[in-house]
Structure 1
Amino acid sequence: MWIAVAVMMLVFVLGLASAIGQARKGQWWTAGAVLLPVLGMVAMLLGGVERQSTPLFWLGCVFVAAGFGAAAMAYWRTRTLGREQAGQ
């Protein structure tokens, strides 16, 4: 039990550090793409993966989906930025 909590907290701290590093560079969508799935994982594990799903589990699923959306947005913004620079 303690090992699972320790691993969860380690992943959370590493994800938070990575998101802070991305945010300091001004890459906000990438920071969201890193942080939101990590928060979702923590919420899903705290909500419990059981036969009876809790609202915390579903909130975690929403965070993970929002993280994938942020990753897509970050990818789209870098693609359009590259096209604008190539056209100049």
Structure 2
Amino acid sequence: MRIAMAVMTLVFVLGLASAVVHARQGRWWTAGSVILPNLGIVAMLLGGVERQSTSLFWLGCLFVAAGFGAEAMACWRTRTLRREQAGH
């Protein structure tokens, strides 16, 4: 159990560091797409994956879905920005 907690903590800290780097560069959607799934996985593991009816499990699923939405928004904004730069 300690190894699982250590791995979960390491993944969360590395994701948080990556999100901070993206946020400092002004890429907020990308930062959200990095940190939200990490929060979701932590919440799902704390809620217990085998007991899928807990609130933490569903909150984790919501965070993961929000992370995918942030990733889609970051991709869309990048494509739009590239089109505008190509047009000028």
TM-score w.r.t. the length of structure 1 is 0.97
C-alpha separation in 2, matches of 1:50 and 1:10: 22
Percent of residue pairs identical:
80
Give the aligned length.
Answer: 88
What's the secondary structure of 1:39's corresponding residue? Answer: helix
Unaligned stretches of 5+ in structure 2?
A: none
C-alpha separation in 1, matches of 2:38 and 2:51: 23
Shift of 1:52: 4.6
**Structure 2 letter corresponding to 1:71:** E
Shift of 1:50: 1.5
C-alpha separation in 2, matches of 1:33 and 1:58: 18
Unaligned stretches of 5+ in structure 1?
A: none
Match of 1:69 in 2: 69
TM-score w.r.t. the length of structure 2 is 0.97
Match of 1:13 in 2: 13
Runs of 4+ displaced beyond 2 Å: none
Match of 1:33 in 2: 33
